[in-house]
Structure 1
Amino acid sequence: MAAATVATVPLATADFKSDDGTPNFRSLGRLSAAVNRKIEPFGAAFLAHARRKRHGRTFSEDDRIQALARVKKTEDDDGGEISEPEDALMLQREAKDWKGQDHYAVLGLSKYRYKATDDQIKKAHRKKVLRHHPDKKAAAGQVDSDSFFKCIQRAHEILSDPVRRRQFDSVDEAADVEPPSKKEAQKAFFKKWRPFFESEARFSNRTPVPLLGDENSTKEEVEQFYDFWYEFDSWRSFEYLDEDVPDDNADRDHKRHIEKKNRNARAKRKTEDTKRLRHDAATVQQVDAVLDDVDKVLGVVDADGLAKLVDELKIAGSDSDKVKAVFVATVTDLTAAGKVKEADVKVFKS
């Protein structure tokens, strides 16, 4: 280390005055004596300098290698939690079409969607930024557009904002579960319908949400389920699909027209969504009532009556009207025999 150099700096005299002659300085003491201290280079800048010297790298080469190392570290820390293949078409998206993009897919969170935590969103954003940052690509000699990077930033901007994320979740069709077809429900009624109601439950303002039970559910549980879903209180909104409102500088009449148009469109979608859910609940209740009537019939019919019922059902085949007619006739016979009360039957009434 070079020898320390002692600099002698005299204090201003007591009668020191500024240029305009005003005395604005008064000496209060003396400088302390010089101290010989050992100074060592330290910090990120020095470590980067030492690393470049050691490996003989230029600034750009070192930046590129460090960026790749950060990406690898992020992926290793991920442990597969937020990793998924990147679709080639998605990478070519135009940033201006951000409203039509799947924000969860952009960040690699397709399998989580509305269940993704804030921490997962933060980690996923960091991972994508490290991989697709324009500076990192430029350092690697790639001349790609920064359009997808802007898509990443937009996705993070929306999903990290609770209000805007809710708006997107409201119209995220990829998270919806379609109701089963009639054929699917016939094979496994409860198993096929349960995921549908579990998916719709995420929109409920009220908790806990009663979900579809099974053949062992009590009458009270069944009634509670249908009462809840027929009067479902949903927070689902449709602002995300609004038409863009012009700036404040635009024609005010046109702006009011667009705002009114958006309000009407949101109200219409809300009404349609409520009707859709009630229709599905009614479908389930109707099938549930049929199953309940079938259980009542099978619970009281004797061996001869059961054999007759089976033969007639074989003849009816898959024709729903004929099947219903067979059960209606059977219920009529059981009612006449006093084995079933007509008031207890919901569907198979004569």
Structure 2
Amino acid sequence: MAHTIDVSVVPPPLKVGWSSPQSTGQTVSPLVERKLIPAGPAYLAHVRRAVHKLTFEEHDKHEESKRLANSNGDGANGDHDYGIGDEEEPEELLSLDPKEWKKQDHYAVLGLSHLRYKASDEQIKIAHRKKVLKHHPDKKAGVAGDSNDDAFFKCIQKAMEVLTNAERRRQFDSVDPFYEDLEEDVPTAGQVKNAKDPNAFFFKAFTPVFEREARFSRKQPVPMLGPFDASKEEVEGFYDFWYNFDSWRSFEYLDKEINEGSDSRDDKRYTEKKNKSERARRKKEDTARLRQFVDLALGVDPRIKRIKQEEKDAREAKKKVKTGGVNGLTQKQQLEEAKKKAEEEAKQKEEEEKVARAEAKKAKAAAANAAKKARRAARGDDA
């Protein structure tokens, strides 16, 4: 713990003949109070340390771990090693022919198969440096069994050349063999229908496909499939985006190489024309493939059925509120019907009472006549 020590300071005496300076008569600008707002990386670092209660050493360690995590590495082999470029090198990879460089997987050559198009320029440089240190011909000169190291070293250099050139890397990413194999493996309507839980299977099977295709979009960010309870606007926006998908994918990487030894302009023009035609064909096929997949997703999307049912229920509820909810009659018509029914019941009851009174009167008259006859008969007997 720090201790405070008070030290008494005695100012020296004034010089002999010293006098205070005379006023110049010039006005002094008024004092202006200004508010200083803390900003900058140093202040933000201070705030992070204060909020998380970290020491300088702990904060630096945390930032370093974040930097390494963002690079998909662990930094286990030194400050400049992010744990990339250390993938296993099978014999098939080491025996690549540098002359067939268009057929090689450049990411696999540099040990970046787990990152692929997500690999940053820094990660590519680090992976290349590690591969060069490991496979440089001078380093393994004279070592038995390493006759192909020179060839694989050329493959490494070619991979570096392609992946550090933005245009050529985009061309290679367009026809990346890893993703071309996955494009053939897409879910079908039958698989969704026959699944134990069709709803869960739909999202599990279709989400990664849309995520893969999203890397070709010129417009970013790309809307993803979303959850089952997504709103109608979200679902419509999702399919509207994918039906108007603007892809930057191209197929120049697959162009047939022009014979450099040929001096014939006709041959070169023919090859260029053929390449252009093939690119257009592949682009058209790719667009049709994606459209077909979006059609499939729309056809089996459980949210479409849910939205239609919700709209139907809403229409019925609206109609029920509007009509009062009884046999399609309005409230006014219901009141009129009820009034008419009450009048009919009252009239019927009145008629029944009238008939009952008439029958009672008739019965009374009959009883009176019977009594009168009985009296007459009694007088006749007495006589």
Q: Tell me the distance in 1 between the aligned counterparts of 2:135 and 2:240.
A: 50
Q: Any idea what the Cα deviations from partners look like across 1:223-256, whole Å, max 9, x if unmatched?
A: 1111111111000000000000122852110110
Q: Report if the CA contact (8 A) 2:84-2:111 is conserved.
A: no
Q: Which residue of 1 aligns with 2:121?
A: 118
Q: Tell me the distance in 1 between the aligned counterparts of 2:229 and 2:287.
A: 29
Find 1:264's aligned residue among 250, 261, 277.
277
Q: Tell me the distance in 2 between the aligned counterparts of 1:184 and 1:87.
A: 35
Q: Following superposition, which runs of at least 4 residues in structure 1 exceed 4 angstroms of deviation?
A: 139-143, 294-301
TM-score normalized by structure 2? Answer: 0.55
Q: Report if the CA contact (8 A) 1:95-1:150 is conserved.
A: yes
Q: Tell me the distance in 2 between the aligned counterparts of 1:147 and 1:118.
A: 24
Does 2:83 correspond to 1:76? no
Does 2:136 correspond to 1:133? yes
Q: Alpha-carbon deviation of 1:90? A: 1.1
Q: Report if the CA contact (8 A) 1:103-1:155 is conserved.
A: yes
CA RMSD of aligned residues (A): 2.6
Find 1:236's aligned residue among 215, 224, 249.
249
Q: Alpha-carbon deviation of 1:101? A: 0.3
Q: Tell me the distance in 2 between the aligned counterparts of 1:153 and 1:164.
A: 14
Aligned runs of 1:193-208 on 2, under 5 Å? 193-208=206-221
Q: Alpha-carbon deviation of 1:280? A: 0.5
Cα distance change on mapping 1:116 and 1:142 into 2, 3 Å: same
Identity across matched positions, percent:
52
Structure 1 gaps of 5+ residues are: 1-73, 302-336, 339-350
Find 2:156's aligned residue among 133, 137, 152.
152
Q: Any idea what the Cα deviations from partners look like across 1:11-40, whole Å, max 9, x if unmatched?
A: xxxxxxxxxxxxxxxxxxxxxxxxxxxxxx
Q: Which residue of 1 aligns with 2:332?
A: none
Q: Tell me the distance in 2 between the aligned counterparts of 1:89 and 1:161.
A: 26
- The aligned amino acid for 1:108 is G
Cα distance change on mapping 1:271 and 1:142 into 2, 3 Å: same
Q: Tell me the distance in 2 between the aligned counterparts of 1:75 and 1:181.
A: 43
- The aligned amino acid for 1:86 is E
Q: Alpha-carbon deviation of 1:179? A: 2.3
Find 1:164's aligned residue among 150, 160, 168.
168
Q: Tell me the distance in 2 between the aligned counterparts of 1:293 and 1:143.
A: 62
Structure 2 gaps of 5+ residues are: 1-74, 193-197, 314-326, 329-383
Q: Any idea what the Cα deviations from partners look like across 1:91-146, whole Å, max 9, x if unmatched?
A: 01111011100000000000000000001100110111111111000165665231
Q: Alpha-carbon deviation of 1:82? A: 2.9
Q: Which residue of 1 aligns with 2:186?
A: 179
Q: Alpha-carbon deviation of 1:262? A: 0.2
TM-score normalized by structure 1? Answer: 0.60
Cα distance change on mapping 1:139 and 1:274 into 2, 3 Å: same
Q: Which residue of 2 aligns with 1:91?
A: 94
Q: Give SS of 1:222's match.
A: helix
**How many residues get paired?**
229
Which has the larger Rg? Answer: 2
Q: Which residue of 2 aligns with 1:293?
A: 305
Q: Alpha-carbon deviation of 1:300? A: 8.6
Q: Tell me the distance in 2 between the aligned counterparts of 1:102 and 1:155.
A: 8
Q: Alpha-carbon deviation of 1:170? A: 0.2
Q: Alpha-carbon deviation of 1:208? A: 1.7
